[in-house]
Each structure stands twice: as structure tokens, then as C-alpha cells.
């Protein structure tokens, strides 16, 4: 499916198997709850891009607003520009790659989703920490960048993930919940 121009809310939502290209900007929730396939936005995306998505590849060539990848459940999201605050909030599985900068509270309450950011991060959310880039992460990132059509050096990125301290309630962490 090829769309010439901008799209509104929830474009390519619940996508399964289709290859969708949007030549323009996308409104709230592009690729929301997608299961498989590929969705490419050549411009910018509004809030909640790839929210609750279970699989597939979402590529945003421009910037993505707040809550990009919120509650992601297995999708791969690659953003060529910057992302807004609360991105990957409660990210359960999948990978978020950001070639630009990330807003505040990145990866807040993160589970097992992996985040790679080339630029700066305004702040990390509760339980999200920087992690070492091992050879398998560099290879994984190279594969994602190639699949999305971006020529960037994986060694320029920082990996973020869960500190796993909020998995089970503990009274000492009550203020972080």
C-alpha cells in the first residue's frame, strides 16, 4: 500500500503482513498494534507511534512525538530523527532505535524491550539504565539499521534497558511506582 500525502489517526494500525509506505506525516498512533509487515513514514509521526505493536518493522524517517513505542510488545521501531518524552514507556519486548535525541523519561517502567539511541537522552525513566554494547548488540543494531535503510555506525549508539528492580513490588521502591 502506497499513500501519497499525510495520514490521520491510527494509519496502518493492526497491520499484518502488508508493506505500507506513507509519503508524508502521520497522525496519532501510526502502526498501533501492528502484528507484522512493514510501515514506513517518510515524514514525522505524531504521538504513540507503534503503540502496543506486537511485531513487524515501523520506520519513521523524520521525528516521532511523545510516547513512541509505548507498551511495545515485539515490534522493531527505527526513527531517523528525534523522539519525544515517555517513549518506550512499559516497553515489554522489541527494539527501539533512535538516530537523533530522546526526550524525558525514556524507557520508564521498561520490561525487556531494548533501546538504542545515537544522540542525547534528556532523562531516563524509572528502572531504565544505560547498558554495555556487546558484539551481539552491535550486530543486532547493524541489522536493524540496514532493514530500515539508514547508514549509521552502530558504535555511535548507547544501549538502554531495564535495571529489573521494579519487576516485583518492594516497599523500598514504592516512590518509583
Domain locations in the chain as residue ranges: 26-166
The Cα 5–Cα 14 span in angstroms is: 20
- 167 pLDDT more than 90: no
- Residue 175's pLDDT is 67
Percent of the chain's residues with pLDDT above 70: 94
Q: What is the pLDDT of residues 63-121, one digit of tens each?
A: 999 999 999 999 999 999 999 999 999 999 999 999 999 999 999 999 999 999 999 99
Give the total residue count for the chain. Answer: 177
- Residue 165's pLDDT is 80
Distance between alpha carbon 158 and the CA centroid of its chain, in Å? 14
Tell me the mean pLDDT in the region 143-152.
Answer: 98
What does the DSSP 8-state code read for residue 121? B
- Residue 168's pLDDT is 64
Give the predicted TM-score (pTM) of the model: 0.94
Is 169 or 53 the better-scoring residue by pLDDT? 53
Residues 6+ apart with CB under 8 A from 87: 64, 66, 67, 68, 69, 70, 96, 98, 102, 103, 106, 107
The Cα 152–Cα 99 span in angstroms is: 8
- Residue 26's pLDDT is 98
- Residue 174's pLDDT is 64
Dig out the grid coordinates for 174 from the structure.
514504592
Specify which residues 39 forms β-bridges with. Answer: 20, 58
The Cα 132–Cα 13 span in angstroms is: 34
DSSP helix/strand/coil, 123: coil
Dig out the grid coordinates for 50 from the structure.
507503534
Return the CATH number of 26-166, one of 2.40.50.1070, 3.40.50.11540, 3.60.20.10, 2.160.20.60.
2.160.20.60
Average pLDDT of the chain? Answer: 95
Percent of the chain's residues with pLDDT above 90: 92
E strand spans, 35-123: 38-41, 57-60, 73-79, 93-98, 114-117
Amino acid at each position: 500500500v502506497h499513500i501519497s500525502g499525510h495520514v490521520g489517526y491510527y494509519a496502518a494500525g493492526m497491520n499484518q503482513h502488508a508493506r505500507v509506505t506513507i509519503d508524508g506525516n502521520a497522525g496519532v498512533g501510526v502502526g498501533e498494534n501492528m502484528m507484522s509487515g512493514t510501515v514506513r513514514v517518510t515524514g514525522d509521526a505524531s504521538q504513540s507511534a507503534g503503540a502496543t505493536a506486537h511485531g513487524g518493522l515501523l520506520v519513521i524517517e523524520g521525528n516521532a512525538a511523545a510516547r513512541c513505542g509505548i507498551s511495545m510488545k515485539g515490534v522493531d521501531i527505527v526513527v531517523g530523527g528525534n523522539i519525544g518524552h515517555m517513549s518506550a514507556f512499559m516497553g515489554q519486548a522489541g527494539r527501539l532505535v533512535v538516530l537523533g535525541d530522546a526526550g524525558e523519561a525514556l524507557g520508564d517502567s521498561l520490561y525487556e524491550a531494548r533501546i538504542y539511541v545515537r544522540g542525547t537522552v534528556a532523562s531516563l525513566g524509572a528502572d531504565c539504565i544505560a547498558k554495555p554494547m556487546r558484539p551481539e548488540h552491535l550486530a543486532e543494531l547493524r541489522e536493524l539499521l540496514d532493514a530500515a535503510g539508514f547508514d549509521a555506525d552502530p558504535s555511535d549508539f548507547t544501549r538502554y534497558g531495564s535495571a529489573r528492580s521494579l519487576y516485583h513490588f518492594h516497599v523500598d521502591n514504592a516512590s518509583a511506582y
